[in-house]
A and B are shown apart, each in its own frame.
Chain A
């Protein structure tokens, strides 16, 4: 008889007043007993709707069955068949709009906590049996992957499992992309990311850091070097600004800069050579997950934090759980507001952010109600730090240095239904194609790219 509790087994978390004093993980994770109890909630549906909701199609009921039976190694093996980074996905996927959205239990009550169970399985494996993976036998074909973020790492892992000799070129000094520089330690411990990347290296994936494709070398010279196909997973890392007066004052950061200093460079650790301002009052502009991450980081640096978002609570694009966590941590939401200028002091530092109030009009092309400025509603927020989290675009470096790569007007690479770009043998996926999206959709694209590259190289070598 399954556990018919209408609610998910609660995940233990650090209390808000404690966790704002540290950068350690907020969610502590299930105990084996909790995991078993939650696994019992799965009805083991024959048609497995949850699987279709997962961009990499993890066989969810099967791995949950193994959690019920207590064979966690087998559960891990089942997840690994289709997912390269389960400890990451279990933490950062928006399950409510993916696997858990389709869960039958979710129709009348809460869905099965698939993400929490995946995380539990991956964490247990890492702690108890992190034996090196066996390196597959090489098929002699070389593939290059540009960018070591979720899309590139997934493509690399899948290709390596198929026997390809894969080299990943990464511009930063460490692999992981947004998993390392963007998502904070308190949502995704960096040690876990590196442990998952180590598994890829065990599979034979060669990761070359400090290599900027487009500068250190071009796509075309990689082809000349004997790579038979290339997967571009270079992401969308170019920060957008609003071009309003005062945006270049000291204390105004892009979320990318603020988060890179904190997550990648560990600027919050005392004695770190990379500095970060110690803000007293921070205004974060934007309402996505990046805005929540930046706000919660600023809170942990001891700042009072305001989130300024031009629509209402209902339209906030961030995950509900992140918004709740941010609210618990005392972050103030100034909704239906938009900044118009930043006012500085005589030293060139941010002093105030001038905002205007908004109201919602008719739905626009995106289906969301369009925010409209309310005339003469301007007001000031005192602040010594402002973080712009209004989105990112693909970095133009690769398209500017590669002939014949077609892009759309937002600068995103155009691909066909096989993830191939306008150049034969050059594939792309993730944010480089879609613009800023989610970790798991990038991983799904990496997976598909790997399958297409495999088919392409096989067709070529048979002809």
Chain B
């Protein structure tokens, strides 16, 4: 069992948890993820490692409450424990580039943050563009500012930062002559797709962190497979980071919806049970 040391509400639907998991903390690097099960009957879900300390054995995860399992996870309180917590899984992100732009969308910012931090510590000049639907959903603002040379906050409705999409800001910066060695986009698949459309025009190498459906997370089932260029890749072992200009985003979005009706049913049942609303 893996004890929850700390639970922090970051916004109405996003929560941070610090878990005692020395085996994961020992070797975790930016870009890697864990798989957890909340309880004995639970499903296995992947979540990115937001932070890890090999000294204390603590691992932070940040999750958005989107369905039955994340709701069940959110029911857990400090001092309680999770049934299973395995990792670090996947390839670490490649931290190379003198001038990089890290783009985070919504809860994807939880994954973008450790990446931005790793670039910052590696001495890169880091520009961060984060996007949220509105001001209530903004997370990790101070953390990002600390590791970014330039920080740009966008919101769909203009209630915080600048009104517009992350791609608007990216294109603006490029057109103003900022030369990025690399763009790293982490967020909803549709956002990563549009970021790649922008960077392809300007020929800027772009890495995306994919989030397909996973079961084991160790390469034994291929549930997380993606088309990357002419090849089939398993995101759990070959990724989750891939060359964004080669990923088949439309197929990835389609595959992510495979269990949408099942998930909706489960979520609605659980919502009624908890009398809770999910955004």
Q: Are A173 and B86 in contact (CB under 8 A)?
A: yes
Q: Are B255 and A273 in contact (CB under 8 A)?
A: no
Q: How far is the CA of A90 from the CA of B85 in the complex (A)?
A: 34
Q: Are A261 and B68 in contact (CB under 8 A)?
A: no
Q: Does A27 contact B (CB under 8 A)?
A: no
Checking A181, A216, A257, A261 against B88 with a beta-carbon cut-off of 8 angstroms, the contacting residue is: A216
Q: A250-B255, A272-B41, A275-B262 are in contact. Are A215 and B220 (CB under 8 A)?
A: no
Q: A215-B88, A265-B43 are in contact. Are A397 and B237 (CB under 8 A)?
A: yes
Q: Are A210 and B43 in contact (CB under 8 A)?
A: no
B222 CB to closest chain A CB, in angstroms?
4
Q: Kindly name the residue among B42, B222, B259, B263 whose own CB sees the greatest number of chain A CB atoms within 10 A.
A: B222
A10 CB to closest chain B CB, in angstroms?
37
Contact with A along B82-101 (1 / 0, CB 8 A): 01111111000000000000
Q: How far is the CA of A347 from the CA of B258 in the complex (A)?
A: 10
Q: How far is the CA of A253 from the CA of B42 in the complex (A)?
A: 21
Q: Are B86 and A212 in contact (CB under 8 A)?
A: yes
Q: Are B27 and A216 in contact (CB under 8 A)?
A: yes
Q: Are A241 and B222 in contact (CB under 8 A)?
A: yes
- B141 proximity list for chain A (CB < 8 A): none
Q: Are A171 and B41 in contact (CB under 8 A)?
A: no
Chain A contact residues: helix, strand, loop or mixed = loop
Q: Are A257 and B69 in contact (CB under 8 A)?
A: no
Q: Are A250 and B254 in contact (CB under 8 A)?
A: yes
- B44 proximity list for chain A (CB < 8 A): 173, 265, 274
Q: How far is the CA of A275 from the CA of B67 in the complex (A)?
A: 13
Q: How far is the CA of A222 from the CA of B201 in the complex (A)?
A: 48
CB closest chain-A residue, reference B26: A217
Q: Are A172 and B216 in contact (CB under 8 A)?
A: yes
Which residues 229-270 of A sit at the B interface, judged by CB distance below 8 A?
A: 237-239, 241, 243, 247-248, 250-251, 253-254, 256-257, 260-261, 265-266
Q: Does B23 contact A (CB under 8 A)?
A: yes
- A253 proximity list for chain B (CB < 8 A): 223
Q: Are B27 and A217 in contact (CB under 8 A)?
A: yes
A269 CB to closest chain B CB, in angstroms?
9
Checking A173, A247, A261, A347 against B83 with a beta-carbon cut-off of 8 angstroms, the contacting residue is: A173
CB closest chain-B residue, reference A395: B219
Checking B41, B222, B258 against A250 with a beta-carbon cut-off of 8 angstroms, the contacting residue is: B258
Q: Are B222 and A256 in contact (CB under 8 A)?
A: yes
Q: Are A237 and B255 in contact (CB under 8 A)?
A: no
Q: Does B13 contact A (CB under 8 A)?
A: no
Q: How far is the CA of A265 from the CA of B41 in the complex (A)?
A: 8
Q: Does B215 contact A (CB under 8 A)?
A: yes
Q: Does A211 contact B (CB under 8 A)?
A: yes
Tally the A-B contacts, defined by beta carbons under 8 Å: 113
- A172 proximity list for chain B (CB < 8 A): 216, 218
Q: Are B218 and A397 in contact (CB under 8 A)?
A: yes
Q: A215-B88, A215-B89, A217-B26 are in contact. Are A260 and B220 (CB under 8 A)?
A: yes
Q: Are A348 and B23 in contact (CB under 8 A)?
A: no
- A124 proximity list for chain B (CB < 8 A): none
Q: Are A211 and B86 in contact (CB under 8 A)?
A: yes
Q: How far is the CA of A181 from the CA of B218 in the complex (A)?
A: 14
- B277 proximity list for chain A (CB < 8 A): none
- B226 proximity list for chain A (CB < 8 A): 248
Q: Does A209 contact B (CB under 8 A)?
A: yes
- A275 proximity list for chain B (CB < 8 A): 43, 259, 262-263, 266
B10 CB to closest chain A CB, in angstroms?
24
Q: Does B142 contact A (CB under 8 A)?
A: no
- B251 proximity list for chain A (CB < 8 A): 248, 348
CB closest chain-A residue, reference B234: A238
Contact with B along A148-168 (1 / 0, CB 8 A): 000000000000000000000
- B87 proximity list for chain A (CB < 8 A): 212, 215-216
- Count A interface residues, CB 8 Å: 38
Checking B72, B86, B232 against A247 with a beta-carbon cut-off of 8 angstroms, the contacting residue is: B232
CB closest chain-B residue, reference A171: B218
Q: How far is the CA of A277 from the CA of B223 in the complex (A)?
A: 13
CB closest chain-A residue, reference B250: A348
A401 CB to closest chain B CB, in angstroms?
10
Q: Are A212 and B266 in contact (CB under 8 A)?
A: no
- B24 proximity list for chain A (CB < 8 A): 216
Q: How far is the CA of A165 from the CA of B221 in the complex (A)?
A: 32
Q: Are B23 and A211 in contact (CB under 8 A)?
A: yes
- B83 proximity list for chain A (CB < 8 A): 173
- B88 proximity list for chain A (CB < 8 A): 215-216
Checking A247, A260, A396 against B215 with a beta-carbon cut-off of 8 angstroms, the contacting residue is: A260
Contact with B along A17-49 (1 / 0, CB 8 A): 000000000000000000000000000000000
Q: Does B16 contact A (CB under 8 A)?
A: no
Q: How far is the CA of A243 from the CA of B215 in the complex (A)?
A: 21
Q: Are A238 and B219 in contact (CB under 8 A)?
A: yes
Q: Does B169 contact A (CB under 8 A)?
A: no
Q: Are B86 and A171 in contact (CB under 8 A)?
A: yes
Q: Are B89 and A273 in contact (CB under 8 A)?
A: no
Checking B23, B41, B221, B227 against A256 with a beta-carbon cut-off of 8 angstroms, the contacting residue is: B221
Q: How far is the CA of A265 from the CA of B215 in the complex (A)?
A: 9
Q: Are B227 and A254 in contact (CB under 8 A)?
A: no
Contact with B along A63-85 (1 / 0, CB 8 A): 00000000000000000000000
Q: Does B163 contact A (CB under 8 A)?
A: no
Q: Does B7 contact A (CB under 8 A)?
A: no
Q: Are B23 and A257 in contact (CB under 8 A)?
A: no
B36 CB to closest chain A CB, in angstroms?
9
Q: Can you give 12 contacting A-B residue pairs, CB < 8 Å?
A: A209-B84, A212-B89, A216-B26, A217-B27, A241-B232, A250-B255, A250-B258, A260-B215, A260-B221, A266-B41, A395-B237, A396-B237
Q: Which residues does B use to contact A, with CB under 8 Å? A: 23-24, 26-27, 37, 41-44, 68-69, 72, 83-89, 215-216, 218-223, 225-227, 232, 237, 251, 254-255, 257-259, 262-263, 266
15 additional contacts (CB under 8 A) given A210-B23, A250-B258, A395-B220: A172-B218, A173-B44, A210-B84, A212-B86, A212-B87, A248-B226, A256-B221, A260-B221, A265-B215, A266-B41, A275-B266, A348-B251, A348-B254, A397-B219, A397-B237
